[in-house]
Amino acid sequence: MEKIVITGMGTVNPLGLTVEESWRNAINGVSGVGPITLFDSTSLNVHFAAEVKNFEPEKYMDAKEARRRDRFEQLGVAAAKDALADSGLELTEENAGRIGVLVSSAIGGIKSLSDAVITNHMEGPRRVSPFLIPMLMPNGAAGMIAIDNQIKGPCFSVASACASGADGIGAAFLMLKAGMIDAAVTGATEMTICSVGVAAFDRVGAMSRRNDDYSMTPQPFDKNRDGLVMGEGAAILVLEREAHAKKRGANILAELAGYGATADAFHVTAPHETGAGGAAAMRMALESAQANDDELGYINAHGTGTPLNDQSETRAIKAAFGERAYHIPISSTKSMTGHMMGATGALEAIFCVQAVREGILPPTIHYQTPDPECDLDYIPNQAREKKITLAISNAFGFGGHNAVLAIRKYS
């Protein structure tokens, strides 16, 4: 069966405005967490997040269009522009219908919606923006990327909470395998760092409140972990059928070799204690990649830094790989990027591509005190040089969604 390959990548995230900058900061253990600057967080319990720094939307789109787009859409358009440029894929009227845009978001334009609710209440409905609907809809970024680039194939967004990005990439993978399209612009974008977004995740009990010492949080898999740190950003990949990429002489970065997806069917926010759903998704991804356990050289964990998630994911890895689980290097790059919600899985897929290409595995920073319940190899604090041929990226979401991508070194 024909391979599906990755030919372009783009990202804007708390570690950088390019893939190269983000990757170098990741392998150097740089934290993207800092005080919230996007709004006044004084009245909230949480005053820090992982924001995208120095992002200027006008560098990627017309200033007038930028004003009509929510920040999550601006981020997505920017990452897509860079991914397409990186791929060298020429977009023409002839191939427009054979290219898909599957760019996801878990929540969409929550800031635009919350701002409009206040405007409606304080100033009346006539003051609500006529652009509100396209600014808030989760498929808005996908639609805008298609419009900006005149891409006319399948265009939609997957919403499966924090698995959205991985599931969207998985859907593109399956459509390419089925021959429905020749190429896809896929990934995810998210921006929930606003008053309502931070308050809502805090009320769920998921967020760290370490305001006096945020420099040491989040702490995935550490015994003293106390919750996730909210992040924002976008990550986009260009996928192609191998024959299509070769015909045009594309630079192939890696192979997207497999995809697995399951549901815990357990609880609306909590993961199943056994990790059975995550384990099944990992097994499915490896089977899809026609890989054996010995080939797997690295796991980019979901690793949010919440007590329940990290224990459950550790159990899932053990359930999936048995005794071999203790010999697979694992890291949570969320320790640096924060949790970018639906976009996280897409960025972590990019990190897996870089890991198989360069033979460097990014660390889990802030790891100080081992947890007896989390007793695997989490690559603490320092990146590790290790040549690998296959990596998997785990993305687990509220509602019990589990999505896993398998990425193989291309040859």
Handedness of CA 2, 361, 237, 23 (dihedral sign): negative
Other beta carbons within 10 angstroms of residue 205's beta carbon come to 10
Predicted pLDDT of residue 270: 83
Are the C-beta atoms of residues 367 and 381 closer than 8 Å to each other? yes
| Tens-place pLDDT, residues 124-166 | 999 999 999 999 999 999 999 999 999 999 999 999 999 999 9
CA distance 121 to 27: 47
Candidates 351, 252, 343; CA nearest to 299 is 351
Q: How confident is the model at residue 35 (pLDDT cuts 50, 70, 90)?
A: very high
Residue in this structure with the two tokens 């993207």, named with its chain if needed: 32
Strand partners, 407: 256, 391
Residue 233 has pLDDT above 90, yes or no: yes
Q: How confident is the model at residue 28 (pLDDT cuts 50, 70, 90)?
A: very high
- What are the angstrom distances between the C-alpha of 326 and each of 19, 106, 317, 378, 397? 30, 32, 9, 10, 25
Are the C-beta atoms of residues 398 and 163 closer than 8 Å to each other? no
Task: Residue 181: give its domain's CATH number.
Answer: 3.40.47.10
Predicted pLDDT of residue 245: 98
Range of the domain at 185: 4-247
| Tens-place pLDDT, residues 250-299 | 999 999 999 999 999 999 888 888 999 999 999 999 999 999 999 999 99
Residue 252 falls within a domain, yes or no? no
Asked if 230 and 323 sit in the same domain, the reply is: no
Predicted pLDDT of residue 271: 85
Residue 368 has which token pair?
A: 């100080």
Asked if 196 and 57 sit in the same domain, the reply is: yes
Residue 234 falls within a domain, yes or no? yes
Percent with pLDDT over 90 in the chain: 97
Asked if 282 and 137 sit in the same domain, the reply is: no
Residue 169 has which token pair?
A: 């990439």
List active site positions.
162, 302, 339
Query: What is the domain count for the chain?
Result: 2
Asked if 157 and 298 sit in the same domain, the reply is: no
Last residue of a domain, one of 247, 282, 299: 247
DSSP state of 224: T
Percent with pLDDT over 70 in the chain: 100
- What are the angstrom distances between the C-alpha of 357 and each of 71, 112, 255, 259, 390? 31, 39, 11, 19, 10
Q: Mean pLDDT throughout 375-382?
A: 98
Q: How confident is the model at residue 358 (pLDDT cuts 50, 70, 90)?
A: very high
Predicted pLDDT of residue 1: 77
| Tens-place pLDDT, residues 75-113 | 999 999 999 999 999 999 999 999 999 999 999 999 999
Are the C-beta atoms of residues 317 and 282 closer than 8 Å to each other? yes
Q: Mean pLDDT throughout 377-401?
A: 97
Asked if 66 and 117 sit in the same domain, the reply is: yes
Asked if 234 and 123 sit in the same domain, the reply is: yes
